[in-house]
Amino acid sequence: MQGRLPSMQPTVVLLREGTDTSQGTPQLLSNISACLAVAQTIATTLGPRGMDKLIVDERGNATISNDGATLLKLLDIVHPAARTLVDIARAQDAEVGDGTTSVVLLAAEILKEVRPFIEDGVGVHVIIKGLREARNLAIKKIHEIAVHIDKSDPVRFRDLLLKTAGTSMSSKLIHSQMPFFSKMVVDAVSSLDPNDLDESLIGIKKVPGGGMQDSQLIKGVAFKKTFSYAGFEQQPKSFTNPKILSLNVELELKAEKDNAEVRVNEVSEYQAIVDAEWQIIYRKLEAIVATGAKVVLSKLPIGDLATQYFADRDIFCAGRVAGDDLKRVVQAVGGSIQSTTSDIEPQHLGQCEKFEERQIGGERFNIFEGCPQAKTCTLILRGGAEQFIAEVERSLHDSIMIVKRTMQNNSVVAGGGACEMEISKYLRNYSRTIVGKQQLIIGAVAKALEVIPRQICDNAGLDATDVLNKLRMRHAHDDTWAGVDVDDDDGVADNMKRFVWEPALVKTNALSSAVEAACLILSVDETVRNPQSEAQQAGPPAPRGAAQRALRGGGGGRGMPRR
């Protein structure tokens, strides 16, 4: 910090003109308030009666969603402390796919519960130590109460997966078609290789028009018909056991002037150049036909000459295939993407049981089925509006990730706030057995966990105070899986018997991320705002008055940087 030195000494300027700092307890409380504001924004999206948000970006594109990670990404939050919540929501989405709203609410509620201790002067590191101890106790308790599912009975295990997928959809836009989409998601994940369950092999294509029930699952790779040239309609559109060649080669007749400068003195020389162009492309096409491939795909354009050439020889071709689609085709049918047409050997080609071009809605799709190399599938989603189909895609991604994690970990807990209430009871009872400030911190975490069932009640129009009192009573009588039931007037039910199931991994990951985010925010006690203007940064040293203003402390958040 800079201060006024004894007379005859110059003022020391440490930071550039325009630099602002905020520090101390007011800064910390300001950061907590910002996090609570973020959580309040998305709180109404939680649970089976959660509301959707309509967000319009600067280009006028509208997004309708109730997925926590999607909303926080679109909100473009600039407060540096509040952006921590955006990061944990993204991490939760990437790791387990669901629980993104829950993790943000938990982190914010933990901060809200420990705020009085900060105001009373309790050391931040004491609070952080208590939060981490509470997290370890809670995760240990989740592992104790989690129900492990026997995978040996495939019928029962599939039934479990259907119910888990349905639970993740209960708060989404597609909850009315839950049985239909649950079956589709479980079939999609089951079609993958059980050893790695790579969800990137599940392609999702959107076709506007029709109803949700017109969506379908294709056991293989499907992509929309690409841009086609003259002669395309003369090509056969269906093959059995075809050989498939994947290229990264342009099969178009290019004028040589586009690629090089050629100087000629006689007309015959120019004719030789033209003839050479034709010879080059014909050599490429003859080499492709010689491989025996019946389906030719390329990332780059396949022009009208090549298209007609293939049509005359009963070969199907598609140029300008999207990179991710071509990659999935190669993973599914075998072979590899070739960057030249020379020296193509049989092992470079792939094969599938059936290829056909099929009309789906207003689009034509190229479909590869019976792929031997990798187990893959494609979901083709239908619906009225593009925003609606986009939200269906986000919902199905969450369900796919949940089913994948369940297949990998096969331990589940009851949802609807049941797990949180049980952990809350355990932490509250534990806190009474210890002494010191840690008792208060662990008790605060126990109270913060109740935010999940309380918010589910609020969003469903139930009396949250009444329902929480019933839940506390039932958990006190060892009714471990008592949770919120939004369909019952009583508001409370055994959610394990109602098959409201979630993977235990969702809960442990959410709790761990929420506590770490809270600890990170609590450990920040100063924010320095650097000037944005280039002119300010390049300018002369600040005068004395400006330097003093640049280094003022406190301010409770006046110095938050803006982007």
Q: Indicate which residue of 93, 98, 325, 398 is catalytic.
A: 398
Using left for φ > 0, alpha for ψ between -120 and 50, and beta otherwise, residue 279 falls in alpha
Task: Provide DSSP, 327-345.
Answer: HHHHHHH---EES-SSS--
Give the DSSP H or E segment for 127.
helix 124-145
What are the C-alpha distances in Å from 549 to residues 10, 491, 544?
Answer: 17, 56, 9
Residue entry with tokens 């004491």:
126
Strand ranges, E, within 176-322: 202-208, 216-218, 220-224, 238-240, 243-247, 295-298, 316-318
20, 67, 93, 325: the active-site residue: 67
Q: Is 100 an annotated catalytic residue?
A: yes
Torsion of CA 98, 100, 102, 103, to 10 degrees: 120
Q: Is 275 a catalytic residue?
A: no
**Given 19, 21, 45, 100, which residue is catalytic?**
100
Cβ contacts of 328 within 8 Å, gap of 6 or more: 200, 201, 203, 221, 376
Q: Are 16 and 537 in contact (CB under 8 A)?
A: yes
Active site residue 398: yes
Quickly list DSSP for 210-232: S-GGG-EEESEEEEE-----TTG
- Name the helix (H) or strand (E) containing 364: strand 363-369
Distance CA 44, CA 535 (A): 44
Contact in structure between 197 and 180 (CB atoms under 8 Å): no
Dihedral sign (CA 422, 426, 429, 432): negative
Does the annotation count 164 as an active-site position? Answer: no
Q: Which residues lie below 8 Å from residue 337, measured CB to CB, with a gap of 6+?
A: 246, 247, 248, 299, 326, 327, 330
CA-wise closest residue to 241 among 367, 351, 350, 331: 351
Beta strands across the sheet bearing 363-369: 220-224, 363-369, 354-360, 238-240
Q: Looking at the annotation, which residues are catalytic? A: 67, 100-101, 398
